[in-house]
Amino acid sequence: MSNVPMPSQSSDPAGTLVREALAQHESNLIGYATSILGGDENRARDVVQDTFLKLYLADPDRVRENLKAWLYAVCRNRALDVLRKEHRLSFTDDQDTLDWLDEWQPDPSDDASREEMLEHVWTTMEQLPPNQKEVLRLKFQHGLSYKEISGITGLSVTNVGFLLHTAIKRLRKLMNHALAEP
Q: pTM higher than 0.75, yes or no? A: no
Distance between CA atoms of 9 and 22, rounded to whole angstroms?
Answer: 15
The burial class, CB within 10 Å (0-12 / 13-18 / 19+), for 35 is: buried
Using pLDDT thresholds of 50, 70 and 90, give the confidence band for residue 136.
confident
**CATH code of the domain containing 127:** 1.10.10.10
Does 146 fall in a domain? yes
Q: Mind listing the pLDDT tens digit for each residue in 92-135? A: 433 333 333 333 344 444 455 556 666 777 778 888 898 998 89
Position 97 scores a pLDDT of: 30
Q: Mind listing the pLDDT tens digit for each residue in 30-78? A: 999 988 888 888 899 999 998 888 888 888 888 888 889 899 988 998 8
Asked if residue 120 and residue 62 are part of one domain, the reply reads no
Q: Are 169 and 94 in contact (CB under 8 A)?
A: no
